[in-house]
Amino acid sequence: MSDIVYGKNSFVEALNNKRIKKAYLLNDSYFIDRLKKEHIEYEIANKAKLDSLTRRGNHQGLVAEVEEYKTYELEDIVKDSNGLIVVLDGLKDPHNLGAIIRTCECAGVDGIIYKKHNSVKLNDTVAKVASGALEYVKVVEATNLVNTLKKLKEKNYWIVGTDGNAKDAYDKIDYNMNTVIIIGSEGDGISRLVKEECDFMVKMPMLGKINSLNASVAAGIMIYNVLSYRQK
- Read off the pLDDT of residues 174-197 as tens digits, 9 standing for 90 and up: 999 999 999 999 888 999 999 999
Residue 213, pLDDT score: 85
Residues 109 and 220 in one domain: yes
Answer positive or negative: Cα dihedral of 114, 105, 196, 156. positive
Confidence of residue 99 (pLDDT cuts 50, 70, 90): very high
Confidence of residue 48 (pLDDT cuts 50, 70, 90): very high
Residues 15 and 114 in one domain: no
Residue 207, pLDDT score: 85
Residues 96 and 201 in one domain: yes
Write down which residue in 46, 67, 88 finishes a domain: 67
CATH assignment at residue 19: 3.30.1330.30
Q: What is the mean pLDDT of the chain?
A: 94
Residues 87 and 147 in one domain: yes
Which residue segment(s) compose the domain that 214 sits in?
A: 74-230
**pTM for the full model?**
0.91
Residues 45 and 141 in one domain: no
Residues 115 and 207 in one domain: yes
Distance CA(155)–CA(60), nearest Å, equals 44
Residues 43 and 85 in one domain: no
Residues 38 and 21 in one domain: yes
pLDDT at 1 over 70: no
pLDDT at 2 over 80: no
CATH assignment at residue 185: 3.40.1280.10
Confidence of residue 68 (pLDDT cuts 50, 70, 90): confident
Distance CA(205)–CA(213), nearest Å, equals 10
Q: How far is CA 107 from its chain centroid?
A: 12
Residues 84 and 163 in one domain: yes
- Average pLDDT rounded to a whole number, residues 192-219: 91
Number of domains comprising the chain: 2
Residues 134 and 158 in one domain: yes
Residues 45 and 130 in one domain: no
pLDDT at 78 over 70: yes
Distance CA(7)–CA(12), nearest Å, equals 9
Residue 156, pLDDT score: 97
Residues 148 and 60 in one domain: no
